[in-house]
Amino acid sequence: MGWDLITKTPAQRAAANLSDYPRMRETFDWAQARTRLSGVPGGGLNIAYEAVDRHATGPRGDATALRCLSATGTTDVTYQDLLRLTSRFASLLDTLGVRPGERVFSLLGRGVELYVTALGTLRHGSVYSPLFAAFGPDPVRERIARGDGAVLVTTPELYERKVAPVREQLPGMRHVLVLGDPPPGTVSLADELARCPDRFDVAPTRARDMALLHFTSGTTGAPKGAVHVHEAVVAHHVTAAWALDLRPDDVFWCTADPGWVTGTSYGIIAPLTHGATVVVDAAEFDAKRWYANLADQHVSVWYTAPTALRMLMRHGADLADQYDLSALRHIASVGEPLNPEAVVWGAQALGHPIHDNWWQTETGAIMISNFPAVDIRPGAMGLPMPGVDVAVLRRGDDGRARVEGGEVTVAAADEVGELAVRRGWPSMFRGYLHDDERYARCFAGAWYLTGDLARSDRDGYYWFVGRADDVIKSAGHLIGPFEVESALMAHPAVAEVGVIGKPDPVAGELVKAFVTLKPGHEASDELRLDLLAFGRRNLGGVAPKEISFDQHLPHTRSGKVMRRLLRARELGLDEGDTSTLEAPV
């Protein structure tokens, strides 16, 4: 079914931060964009300085930086408060002997401490790495170990459940700071902070110094630690201005979980570099609560995700009608395919169409967007960011971009190929930690290969088609099948496992495991429940939601489980035809 173009009025175009997209695409360059930021006085570039200091010491010092909503009430933190809090945290890291460049992990829910940990770490010159609080002990251990975590900030409850069972396997983790009464092996963050001064000059890091470590998943092997540098802040700042239309007087709400990249790039860094007010809600999704947040906090720019929008759509437009959403100026979505129905529903129920945009952990910032001043083609991810060169590359037999002698071929209009981005944007990842070979494999000449399949139409709009590999997107979270398979393999009854994403109308995909049992074990509902519980205990929120027993998993000649075939079986497709599997939308 075709969807009508959503056109923007001349007044809407004129009002947007990026009012003339074609001109900016011609003229923009990143070196010039760098002058939009201050830089550390005396030299250097540090994300925390751009997000905190330059506002704290300027006219927005008294402005609310964070508005934190929780069961116990609302806490406002000004930019000046944030300067003091992050300075004290940086002093603490210094006192503990943490060296610049060492990794500080957080395993926290949404609250002031998470922001202070992230920005205090950057201020100190060490590297911030967030963990998804719903992870179980296996993914937590794996990431802290691979990231050489020296410090962890968490809560006593999360520590007891997810870290204490694996602590012995993390000898390099020297300090665990907790938000309440410290269990054995940890210390109280509040007590430690009380001993530290609330002045700490921001570290004069260089643009190319490592700042952030974000773990992401591939089809095979352990999770990959994507390395980002302080210079990424230039892209965070500019993309937030243009794709999200952010301004200093905005109230901004990014609903992404802070344990993943969007929650850091756009939940913490980008809006603060603009001096905006960031809404932080500790609670989980609830349709009425979300509408109440939008209305009561006068949210003007809202950055959310397709799964959440689909959940709101299920409650109908009548519910939205009960709230005053007149403060809203712009709504954007990211992380998974956004159905055209949702784009149009936004216009009808919320007063604004949803502006889809595309990026991934490795790109660090938005690369493709439906810009506020540009007409929307519902279902398309949008147009490339000024300063970012995107292409769809022709594919070889393995389904990935074909590379011959280091050269690639750009696909014709409307031809499906692998989405690629030309090197040279400031938030490009600079490595996978400890895995140079894997990093090198992501590039073909000047192009970074994204692993996504897409096509571009004759007018240059990009359309998502699917993944070129087997990674799963469930409720916006990227899940590596290998990590889930490895965890289930630890169960005594399991001989082999194949994990796939099973299409789901709300979450996009659900994690489903096909399990072959060892001799002596019988398939039963009891064993299925036991395996589901085992998965949840070890993996947490990324555990399989469904398990099927299958004593005849399909294999490649080299003996690997063929996940594509499992997916075809699940969808009831002809097993010879796995090509249609590329189109989850």
Q: Whose CA is closest to 207, among 40, 53, 363?
A: 40
For the record, the structure tokens of 328 come out as 């809203």
Minimal distance in Å, beta carbon 502 to ligand AMP?
17
Burial 259-280 (b: 16+ CB within 10 A, else e): bbbbbbbbbbbbbbbbbbbbbb
- The residue written with tokens 């079914």 in the block is 1
Out of 223, 337, 387, 426, the only residue in the binding site for ligand AMP (CB under 6 A) is: 337
Stretch 80-109 residues interacting with ligand AMP (CB under 6 A): none
Query: How near is the Cβ of 101 to ligand AMP at its closest, in Å?
Result: 24
The least distance separating ligand AMP from the CB of residue 473, rounded to whole angstroms, comes to: 6
Q: Candidates 32-40, 77-85, 242-250, 334-342 — which segment interacts with ligand AMP by CB under 6 A?
A: 334-342
Q: What's the residue count for the chain?
A: 585
User: With binding defined as CB under 6 A, does residue 473 bind ligand AMP?
Assistant: yes
* Closer residue to ligand AMP (CB): 87 or 474: 474
CB atoms within 10 A of CB 156: 16
Please list the residues that pair with 515 across neighbouring strands: 497, 549
Q: Cα–Cα distances in Å, from 301 out to 14, 278, 295, 398, 564?
A: 17, 10, 12, 41, 39
CB of 334 to ligand AMP, least distance (A): 5
DSSP string, 415-484: --EEEEEES--TT----BTT-HHHHHTTEETTEEEEEEEEEE-TTS-EEEEEESS--EEETTEEE-HHHH
**Least distance between ligand AMP and beta carbon 454 (Å):** 9
Query: Is 418 a residue that touches ligand AMP (CB under 6 A)?
Result: no
Residue in 149, 335, 364, 379 binding ligand AMP, rule: CB under 6 A: 335
Six-digit token string for 555: 């294999």
Interface positions, 387-406, toward ligand AMP (CB under 6 A):
none
Of 90 and 342, which CB lies nearer to ligand AMP in the complex structure? 342
Which x/- pattern over 351-370 shows residues binding ligand AMP (rule: CB under 6 A)? -----xxx-xx---------
3-state DSSP call for residue 5?
coil
Residues 167-226 that bind ligand AMP (CB under 6 A): 216
- Cβ proximity to ligand AMP: between 275 and 364 the closer is 364
Q: Which residues contact 284 (CB under 8 A, 6 or more apart)?
A: none
The 264-303 site mask, x for binding ligand AMP (CB under 6 A), equals ----------------------------------------
Question: Which residues inside 438-467 make contact with ligand AMP, applying CB under 6 A?
Answer: 450, 452, 464, 467
| Residue 417 makes contact with ligand AMP by CB under 6 A | no
What are the residues binding ligand AMP (CB under 6 A)?
A: 216, 260-261, 334-338, 356-358, 360-361, 381, 450, 452, 464, 467, 473, 478
